[in-house]
Structures are given as C-alpha cells and as structure tokens.
Amino acid sequence: MKTRIVILSLSAIMLFTACEPEADLYRNFHLKEGEHFASPRLVESLQSSRLAFYAKFDESCRYIFEETSFQDCKNKLLGFSDCNNMHHENSARFTWQWFNNQMEIYAYCYVNGERIEKFIGVVELEKENRYEIELTPDAYLFKLNDQESVSITRSATCTKGMYYMLWPYFGGTLPAPHDMHLSIKIIY
C-alpha cells in the first residue's frame, strides 16, 4: 500500500513540475471559398476581463471583390459577446479587411444593438501582431501592439454571466472569395 502511495505521489510531482518545451498554442483557422465560418468551429467562454492574443494573416488573406462596394465589409477576427447577451446586441471584436491594398484592423462592437466601428491600424501579412480587448465596467478598450488604446463605450449590462467567444468569420455579406488561412494564439 505504501509503495502505491509513493508511486502515485511521485507521478503527481512529475506531472506538475516537469520541465518541457513550451507548447505551440497557435490555432490555424481555414476560411473556405464560398463560406463564412472558419474551421475549426470552437465553443469557449471568456474567463477573464482581458482577451489578449497574437494573430497572423498569411498571403491568402488578400482578396478583391468584383463588386467593389463590398470591399469594406468587416471580417471578424476574435472577440466575445457581452454578459448574457447575443452578439448582435452587445459584443466586442477585432475585425479585418483587405482595403487600399493593405490589411486594415478595426474595433467592431454592438452596443445595445447598434453597430460601432473604429479604425485601429494596419498590419503586415505573415507577421505576428498582438491584439488586446480589455473589458472595463464602462468601455471596451482595443489595443493593437504598442499603439494607444481605442475605446468604445460599453452598455450597462449584467455583471455576472456567460461571455461567449466569437471566432473568425468572413463577412459581411459575401462569403470568402477563395480559401484563406489565419492563425491565432490566445495569451493566457
């Protein structure tokens, strides 16, 4: 019996203290031609008042629509719905669009059903950039790399509840014109 306890204790110590290389936590998302939702489709909830992550767009994320009026439709990167709200009521997300031959990043929120967009910056393809949304009692603070935060006023909703995560989605109105790939690594 003592031997069994010793073996179990040693196993537990090894399990929780062993040194090992840091795991690659990048998740690769694939936007298929003709579809809006990226795969894999994930279900998670926000568990902290700060959502920070790295994202990288590859060359496939350039696109030109024949109908140019759709070129400034925002594609969703990552964010969350606010406390017990559906995302078209209250939510905060980073979005992206290939516009003016560059990758533009926006803050994109629904506040009491009203959509609010604010330009944040431009990023390069194939490069890792840091994104952060901080949830404060009265605002969503969006930060790209070391730039100053962009603030969007938050509606007074509940304070305790479910905040479901919103994953990459192409559109807007039109689906992906060709296959695209992007990677996201959430910082915990």
Partner 1 sequence: MKTLIIILLFSASIIQAQTLVLSTGVEKTVANTESQFMMGYQSKKQRSIGTFYQNNVNRFISENNPKQSYWYGVFTALPIAKSEKISVYAMLRAGLMDEQFVVIVPSLETKIKVSKWLAVGVASSYRQGYPAFSFKTQFSLFNQSTL
The answer to whether the CB of 7 falls within 8 A of the CB of 139 is no
CA torsion 42→112→137→51, rounded to 10°? Answer: 20
In the complex, minimum distance from the CB of residue 188 to partner 1, in angstroms, rounded to a whole number: 3
Using the structure block, give the residue that is written with the tokens 């194939």: 126
Q: Tell whether residue 42 is a contact of partner 1 (CB under 8 A).
A: yes
Contact status, residue 32 vs residue 170, Cβ threshold 8 Å: no
What is the spatial distance between Cα 131 and Cα 76, in angstroms, rounded to a whole number?
Answer: 13
Identify the residue among 19, 24, 47, 146 touching partner 1 (CB under 8 A). 47
Residue 186 CA to residue 188 CA, distance in Å, equals 6
* 108, 163, 169, 170: residue in contact with partner 1 (rule CB under 8 A): 163
Q: How far apart are CA 149 and CA 61, in angstroms?
A: 25
**Distance from C-alpha of 54 to C-alpha of 186, rounded to nearest angstrom:** 6
x/- site string to partner 1, residues 58 to 97, per CB under 8 A? -------------------------x--------------
Cβ neighbourhood burial of 64 (10 Å; 0-12, 13-18, 19+): exposed
Choose one: 42-50, 87-95, 110-118, 145-153; the region binding partner 1 (CB under 8 A).
42-50
Judged by CB under 8 A, the number of residues near partner 1 is 26
| Residue 175: cis peptide before it, omega within 30 degrees of 0 | no
Q: Which stretch binds partner 1 (CB under 8 A): 62-70, 113-121, 139-147, 180-188?
A: 180-188
Instruction: Give yes or no for a cis peptide into 168 (omega within 30° of 0).
Output: no
* Nearest-approach distance from CB 70 to partner 1, in angstroms: 32
Minimum gap (Å) between residue 99 Cβ and partner 1: 30
Q: 28, 33, 34, 50: which one contacts partner 1 (CB under 8 A)?
A: 50
Among 6, 8, 86, 116, binds partner 1 (CB under 8 A): 8
Residue 139 binds partner 1 (CB under 8 A) = no
Residues at the site binding partner 1, with contacts judged by CB under 8 A? 1, 4-5, 8, 12, 15-16, 25, 42, 44-50, 52, 83, 159-163, 186-188
